[in-house]
Amino acid sequence: MPIDFTLTAEQRELQMSARSFARTVLSGVADATRHLATPAERFAATRPFYEQVVKAGFLRRMIPAPLGGEGTGVFDMAVVAEEFQAVDVNVSLTLFGSLLGLMPVMLAGSPAQQRTFIAPFLERAGTPLAAFAFSEPGGSANFASPMPGTGLRTAARLDGEEWVITGAKQWVSSATGWDGNGADLICVVCRTDPTAAPDSAISVIAVPRSAGGIKGIVLERAADLMGHRAHLTPRFRLEQVRTARDNVLGRVGGGLELVEMSFAGTAALVGVFGVALMRAAFDYALNFARTEHRGGATPIIEHQAVGYALADAKMAIEAARYLSWKACHAMDSNAPGAFELALHAKVFGSETAVKVITDLMRVVGIESYDHQCPLAGLLQDAMAYPLFDGGNMGVRRRQLHALLKSPGYDPLTASGAA
């Protein structure tokens, strides 16, 4: 890719395809879900839209080509993410939540595991869901904490040729599936050695769904979210859930590293999510400023304060986009400093989105506080991004702090100037 991040012909085609699909299909999600009372009902109503995402090949397009898909890297995901999220956050997060659910398999699964577990997600049919069951009630920011901290609490023990998993999870996208009985594949982060140090006590174990569901999955409640109103984030229990002994992804006890690897690439994508919401908010505010007089003689864009606010918002959008693009490109090319760039993109993109949308609400005025205006909903959606996928305070800044403290840290590495 050129240093100016000009999209290739293939990437531009992907972008235009995703934009057209979002405008013609995903634009219908809000009308299909907003009138429904419960999170479960709203999530269920998104299923036909997700089915169209799969049928159109976008799930397959995100899975790397060496694993049977058509994806060429994180940058492709970023191109689709911006177009989808700018129109609807719900179905798009279900899509990217499934990709996160597959991430441990893609990163550490054996060839046999990859063939078995990824196969259903390569078909252009159905509504397959995968989930990465990491977060737990009570928080997981210190999941690797040694005693006296409790750290990760979900546990797995061997019983012959099966693992038996017991514990509780929450904030796991789509984990309990369309019917409450489990996603098609759940990758569970659990403690496989109660006495070992964190770097050898934690494993990631794949739990595939059988025809009737995953026995032992108990849905306690689906969170009624502030934003992302039609996306499923359940709290659920695993009550002696059984899965084959060979379903450990990577090595037994290697889960700490695998968790960190799985969440590395998603950090940059959250930056793109923020860009998408800012883009949607800016488009609305710009059109509002061009057409509304608010009782004056000229459109309000003629006023310097409005023009400057729009200019500041547009600068922030471009800065967040190119930082996120650079992070995605660095991840794809395994460049030095890629992880640092991904962290910057996540923190900057998510927090800038909240600020920019709030500032654009000031341009529109009190009407932006009404859900008849899209800015209120966009702000509600944006509020999640500093909090999830590793909270900016509890996880992502701590990771940056650890990088800065490391003896070999070179501040020029991420910029490519080292």
Q: 376: which 2 tokens?
A: 């209120």
Give me the pLDDT at residue 418, please. 66
Number of domains in the chain: 3
359 included as an active-site residue: no
- 3-class state of residue 353 by DSSP: helix
Residue 103 Cα distances to 96, 263, 285, 304, angstroms: 10, 9, 37, 48
Q: In this structure, what are the phi and psi dihedrals at residue 10, rounded to the nearest 5 degrees?
A: -70, -40
Residue 68: inside a domain: yes
- Please say which residue of 121, 150, 170 terminates a domain: 121
- Please say which residue of 217, 252, 287 terminates a domain: 252
Q: 8: which 2 tokens?
A: 């290739």
- 3-class state of residue 370 by DSSP: coil
Query: pLDDT band for position 367 (50/70/90)?
Result: very high
- Is the same domain home to 135 and 218? yes
Residue 61: inside a domain: yes
> For the ranges 101-110, 192-201, 244-253, which has the lowest average pLDDT?
192-201
- Is the same domain home to 236 and 269? no
| Residues spanned by the domain of 278 | 257-405
- Is the same domain home to 401 and 286? yes
- Is the same domain home to 70 and 102? yes
Query: pLDDT band for position 45 (50/70/90)?
Result: very high
288-318 pLDDT tens trace: 999 999 999 999 999 999 999 999 999 999 9
149-195 pLDDT tens trace: 888 999 999 999 999 999 999 999 999 999 999 999 999 999 999 88
Query: pLDDT band for position 109 (50/70/90)?
Result: very high
184: CATH: 2.40.110.10
- Is the same domain home to 101 and 149? no
Could you count the other beta carbons within 10 Å of the beta carbon of residue 121? Answer: 25
Give me the pLDDT at residue 417, please. 67
Please report how many Cα atoms fall inside a 13 Å half-sphere around the Cα of residue 398, on the Cβ side. 8
56-103 pLDDT tens trace: 999 999 999 999 999 999 999 999 999 999 999 999 999 999 999 999
- Is the same domain home to 319 and 186? no
Rounded Cα gap, residues 315 and 183, in angstroms: 40
Give me the pLDDT at residue 380, please. 98
Pairing of strands 185-191, 130-133: parallel
- Is the same domain home to 144 and 271? no
| Positions of E strands within 171-233 | 185-191, 202-208, 217-222
Residues paired with 52 in a beta bridge: none
8-26 pLDDT tens trace: 999 999 999 999 999 999 9
- Is the same domain home to 200 and 282? no
- Is the same domain home to 134 and 245? yes
Q: 142: which 2 tokens?
A: 């210190």
- Is the same domain home to 220 and 135? yes
22: CATH: 1.10.540.10
Q: Are 275 and 83 in contact (CB under 8 A)?
A: no
Tell me the average pLDDT of the chain.
Answer: 95
Residue 87: inside a domain: yes
Query: pLDDT band for position 5 (50/70/90)?
Result: confident
Residue 387: inside a domain: yes
- Is the same domain home to 82 and 220? no
Say whether pLDDT at 2 is over 70: no
Which of 88, 184, 332, 389 is an active site residue? 389
Residue 412: inside a domain: no
320: CATH: 1.20.140.10
208-231 pLDDT tens trace: 999 889 999 999 999 999 999 999
Residue 274: inside a domain: yes
- Is the same domain home to 224 and 264? no
The secondary structure of residue 217, as a DSSP letter, is: E
Residue 1: inside a domain: no
Q: 323: which 2 tokens?
A: 């930082």
- Please say which residue of 188, 220, 252 terminates a domain: 252
Residue 368: inside a domain: yes
Say whether pLDDT at 3 is over 70: no
Q: Are 179 and 247 in contact (CB under 8 A)?
A: no
Q: In this structure, what are the phi and psi dihedrals at residue 151, rounded to the nearest 5 degrees?
A: 60, -145
Cα pseudo-dihedral 202, 208, 210, 216, rounded to 10: 30
Give me the pLDDT at residue 191, please. 96
Give me the pLDDT at residue 376, please. 97
